[in-house]
Structure 1
Amino acid sequence: MHPELARLRRELRAACGEAGLPAGERARLVLAATLLAEPAIETGQEMSLETAMADRRLAVTFRLPEPVEQVRRNTLPLLPGAGDGATLSWHLTAGLSPQPAPLEDDAATREEMLALIARADALAQEQRELKHELAETNSGVLAMYVELEERDEQLRRAHTVIFRELEDALRPRPPAVPSWELAVQYSPTGTGSPTGGDLYDWFVLPDGHLHVTVVDAVGHGVTSTRHALTVTHAIRTLALEGHPFAGLIARTATTLATIEPDLMATVLLARLDPASGKMVLANGSRPPPVLVTAAGDARLLRAPVVGRGVGFPDPGSPELIQHTLGQGDAVLLYTDGLIESRRDLEEGQIRLLGHARALAGHPIDTLPAELVTRMHDVVLDADDTVVLAIRRTTTNALDVNRGRPPHR
């Protein structure tokens, strides 16, 4: 993110916090300002931002180098008041007490994301209620139909803005791991649903190990996205706190049981030692990963007993899978959408192994996308699909021979 844009967002969030604006109102204002400021910042043009409090109202004035057309203003998540086009103003009612935003941009973005998703849920519920009213009465049908279409368009615009702003938070980029290559492909069910309940997370722990999480939350739409995001964030927090890897799924389920009692999600965890190549897998109701060797062989990494995910009875992974990857070996982690497009799980796994063997030496950057293309040549049942590819490029004999103990 451009430093000037980051500074502008911090100033807005600070002003909103002092005015006691709720996270949802703050999120729409920050998004609107971001969409307006990006073109000017990218071209090096000057602009200014002023905030002031008067009579328990926060006044925000944004001066741009060029006027903003009314058509573009109408697409903003928070509409400004009337102005000359180049000077846009918002006047927002202050809250009862300050509500400071998180200091880090990522944390503030996540908080605003959850508020925007909740607003989208409310809009969807309002839409359903309006449709019910249409079915109950014959008077004013035409006027109500027009209003319904307008609210549908508002909901679509809100979703577009939400997913544009939060794409990085939902789909983290591969972390940098020496001597390893990582790549990902996310394919939504359709263009109208940029995300669903299939999410992933990967990061490097303080001890240098790579942690990977793949989550498939039960359900569809923004609710399943929120549930999947809740699970990935809980696992990340517990992992960074040092909780044993073998019990992470069960510990996450216990942690979230009272917070999200209706949440159900299958989970696959991987922990890799970049130095030795040792990999440990914990499976909670997920399809088995695929090991692809440098020689071109491919097989499923099945546990004798598959565990259960978050929200299921007896959650956890009773047996872990351990394997050491050699130079050129890769592992593929994926969600159900990859192998169930033809509505036959067993047939899908057989085809997956065949394509994995054929693509054993394929460049890692395009391997996940090419795998999805080949697996989805026939789609009878569309579903969100996530594919993660992790390949070891070099080995370190010194580290392997040290006899490092297995990770907890």
Structure 2
Amino acid sequence: MRPELARIRRRLRAACGEAGVPAGDRARLVLAATLLAEPVIEAGRDVHVETAVADRRLAVTFRLPEPVGQARRNALPLLPDAGDGETLTWHLASGAGPHPAPADEDAATREEMLALIARADALAQEQRELKHELAETNSGVLAMYVELEQRDEQLRRAHAVIFRELEDALRPPPPAVPGLELAVQYSPTEQDSPTGGDLYDWFVLPGGQVHVTLVDAVGHGVTSTRHALTVTHAIRTLALEGHPFAGLIARTSETLAAIEPGLMATVLLARVDPATGKLTLANGSHPPPVLVTADGEAELLRSEVVGRGVGFPDPGSRELVHHTLGPGDTLLLYTDGLIEGRRDLDEGLGRLLAQARAHARHPTGTLPAELVTRMHDVVLHADDTVVLAIRRVSG
């Protein structure tokens, strides 16, 4: 993100915090400002921002170098007041008192993301309730039902815009790690709703090891997204605090039990030392990863004792899997959507091993997408799918 855009986002968050603007309204304002300012800043032009608080209302004014058409204004997640096209103004009601945003950019983004997801969830529930009420009325309200369907389509498109803005927060890009190549492919069940319970996280620990978390939360829609995000964030926090790798799944489940009592998720954790290739796996009710060797062999890496996921009875990985990746070896981590497309998991695992062998020397960057395409040639049971590839390229 360019420094000027980051400065504008910080300024808006600070103004919203001072005025006590709720997180949901703040999130829509920051997203609207980002969509307007980013292309202008990328083009090397200036965006002027003014903020003022009066009569328990926050006024935010954007002055842009060229007019913003009505169609583009209508597509923003927070509509501005009527204006001359080059100057856009929003008025937001203040809350009961100051509500500052977190100082950390990632933390502020996560808070805004959760507020937007909660708002989308509430709007979707409202839409379902309205549809149910209209379905019970007589044909005289048919025109209203048609209008509601149109509103539902508009809402779906607006949600897609919001979700695309949140993709970076939900699905981080691979970290740059000398000696390793990393790639990912996410395939949602519905292309216009790129969220679900399949999420991942990867980062480099202070000691140089790469930590990977893959989560598949039970359920569907924005609730499962929230659950999966909660699990990945909890594991990242505990891992960076230095909690033992072997107990991370159990500790995460214990930590979240009181916060999200209904949360259940399968979890797969991996630690890779890029210098030595040493690999450690912890599995909580998740499909086993696949090891593809440099000479084209493929096998499942699983322990004798199957662990349990977060929210399951007796959670945790009872037995770790240890291996050493040689130069050219590839580790494949995935969610069950990859192998259950034909409803037969054993067949799916067999087909995955065969495809892994056939594409052992495929470029890492496009390997996950290639496997998804091959495995989803016939889909009888659609589900979100995540595939991660980690290849050691040096000894």
Provide TM-score, normalisation by structure 2: 0.97
Q: Hey, what's the Cα distance between the residues in 2 that align with 1:104 and 1:250? A: 28
- Please name the residue that 2:237 is paired with: 237
Deviation at 1:147, TM superposition (A): 4.2
- Please name the residue that 2:246 is paired with: 246
Secondary structure of the 1:152 match is: helix
- Please name the residue that 1:171 is paired with: 171
Give the stretch that moved more between structures: 148-157 or 359-368.
148-157
Q: Is the 8 A contact 2:179 2:394 kept in 1?
A: yes
What does 1:9-408 correspond to in 2, within 5 Å? 9-138=9-138, 141-395=141-395
- Please name the residue that 1:6 is paired with: 6
Q: Which runs of 4+ in 1 moved over 3 A?
A: none
Deviation at 1:140, TM superposition (A): 5.0
Which letter maps to 1:246?
A
Q: Hey, what's the Cα distance between the residues in 1 that align with 2:246 and 2:238? A: 12
> 1:89-139 CA deviation, whole Å, 9 max, x = no partner?
111111221111112222111110000000001101101110121123227
Summarize the Cα distance change of 1:140–1:15 in structure 2 as closer, same or farther, 3 Å threshold: farther
Deviation at 1:149, TM superposition (A): 2.1
Secondary structure of the 1:182 match is: strand
Q: Is the 8 A contact 1:267 1:286 kept in 2?
A: yes
Q: Is the 8 A contact 2:77 2:162 kept in 1?
A: no
Which letter maps to 1:11?
R
Count of aligned pairs: 395
Which letter maps to 1:122?
A
Q: Is the 8 A contact 1:120 1:158 kept in 2?
A: no
Give the stretch that moved more between structures: 112-121 or 4-13.
4-13
Q: Is the 8 A contact 2:164 2:194 kept in 1?
A: no
Deviation at 1:143, TM superposition (A): 4.4
Deviation at 1:212, TM superposition (A): 0.5
> 1:178-217 CA deviation, whole Å, 9 max, x = no partner?
1111111111112122121101001111111111100000
Deviation at 1:154, TM superposition (A): 4.0
Provide TM-score, normalisation by structure 1: 0.94
Q: Is the 8 A contact 2:160 2:192 kept in 1?
A: no
Q: Which runs of 5+ in 1 are unaligned?
A: 396-408
Q: Is the 8 A contact 1:185 1:388 kept in 2?
A: yes
Q: Hey, what's the Cα distance between the residues in 2 that align with 1:343 and 1:141? A: 42
Secondary structure of the 2:377 match is: coil
Q: Hey, what's the Cα distance between the residues in 2 that align with 1:352 and 1:139? A: 52
Which letter maps to 1:157?
R
Deviation at 1:236, TM superposition (A): 0.4
Deviation at 1:169, TM superposition (A): 0.8
Deviation at 1:146, TM superposition (A): 3.9
Q: Is the 8 A contact 2:163 2:193 kept in 1?
A: no
Which letter maps to 2:192?
G
Which letter maps to 2:232?
T
Secondary structure of the 1:307 match is: coil
Q: Is the 8 A contact 1:282 1:317 kept in 2?
A: yes
Give the stretch that moved more between structures: 374-383 or 220-229.
374-383
Which letter maps to 2:339?
I
Q: Hey, what's the Cα distance between the residues in 2 that align with 1:174 and 1:71? A: 35
Deviation at 1:150, TM superposition (A): 4.1
Which letter maps to 1:354?
A
Q: Hey, what's the Cα distance between the residues in 1 that align with 2:260 and 2:75? A: 34
Q: Is the 8 A contact 2:22 2:94 kept in 1?
A: no
Q: Is the 8 A contact 1:203 1:211 kept in 2?
A: yes
> 1:137-166 CA deviation, whole Å, 9 max, x = no partner?
227513431442243134213311221211
Deviation at 1:273, TM superposition (A): 1.6
> 1:214-257 CA deviation, whole Å, 9 max, x = no partner?
00001111111111000000000010111111111011000001
> 1:303-330 CA deviation, whole Å, 9 max, x = no partner?
1011111111111111111111111111
Q: Hey, what's the Cα distance between the residues in 1 that align with 2:319 and 2:186? A: 29
| Percentage identity across paired residues of the two chains | 82
Q: Hey, what's the Cα distance between the residues in 1 that align with 2:45 and 2:385? A: 41
Q: Hey, what's the Cα distance between the residues in 2 that align with 1:97 and 1:146? A: 41
Which letter maps to 2:62?
F
Which letter maps to 2:237?
T
Which letter maps to 2:111?
E
Q: Is the 8 A contact 2:73 2:79 kept in 1?
A: yes
